[in-house]
């Protein structure tokens, strides 16, 4: 239960940081043509946080504790992106974080797969979305240059 609560808390904190910046700062940014409407992000991230919490729970009960640091690392990187991008208005720093996050999510999914196939599969949409988010962030950085 603590694992799920941590993931949900991360989602809530991200939402609280991002919400005030969306209508003001984010709305004024030049964005790539493949940027979805703003309303898409909330439901997608909610589903992803729930599936990654469930995947982590499955692995938590079957894998050695040494894998916990990897899940924690990717979660911290995920949480860090929001204040970098929305809080400090630093898309370039957020992009660096996002690139490392993609690698950490891929590694976590890989290790999850070896301990629980379903947990590994549950990380695939999260990996795809973080890679997509990196492309969006990179597009914003390029357009701002």
CATH topology of domain 2-144: Ferritin (1.20.1260)
Q: How far apart are CA 41 and CA 75, in angstroms?
A: 17
Q: How far apart are CA 78 and CA 17, in angstroms?
A: 13
Task: Give the model's pLDDT for residue 8.
Answer: 58
**Domain limits of the chain?**
2-144
Residue 85 CA to chain centroid, in angstroms? Answer: 12
Handedness of CA 119, 120, 123, 125 (dihedral sign): negative
pLDDT in tens, the chain (145 residues): 455 555 555 655 656 665 665 667 788 899 999 999 989 998 999 899 999 989 998 988 887 777 778 888 999 999 999 889 988 899 999 999 999 999 999 999 999 999 999 999 999 999 999 999 999 999 999 999 8
Residue 54 Cα distances to 72, 104, 122, angstroms: 14, 18, 8
Q: Torsion angle of alpha carbons 61, 65, 71, 73, nearest 10°?
A: 160
Q: How far apart are CA 108 and CA 134, in angstroms?
A: 17
């Amino acid at each position: 239960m603590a694992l799920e609560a941590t993931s949900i808390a991360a989602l809530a904190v991200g939402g609280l940081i991002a919400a005030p910046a969306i209508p003001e700062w984010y709305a004024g940014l030049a964005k790539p043509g493949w940027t979805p409407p703003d309303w898409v992000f909330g439901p997608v991230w909610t589903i992803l946080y729930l599936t990654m919490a469930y995947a982590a729970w499955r692995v938590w009960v079957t894998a050695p504790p040494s894998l916990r640091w990897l899940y924690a690392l990717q979660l911290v990187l995920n949480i860090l992106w929001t204040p970098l991008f929305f809080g400090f208005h630093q898309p370039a720093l957020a992009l660096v974080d996002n690139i490392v996050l993609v690698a950490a999510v891929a590694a976590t999914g890989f290790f999850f797969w070896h301990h629980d196939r379903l947990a590994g599969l549950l990380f695939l949409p999260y990996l795809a979305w973080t890679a997509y988010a990196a492309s969006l962030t990179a597009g914003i950085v390029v357009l701002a240059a």
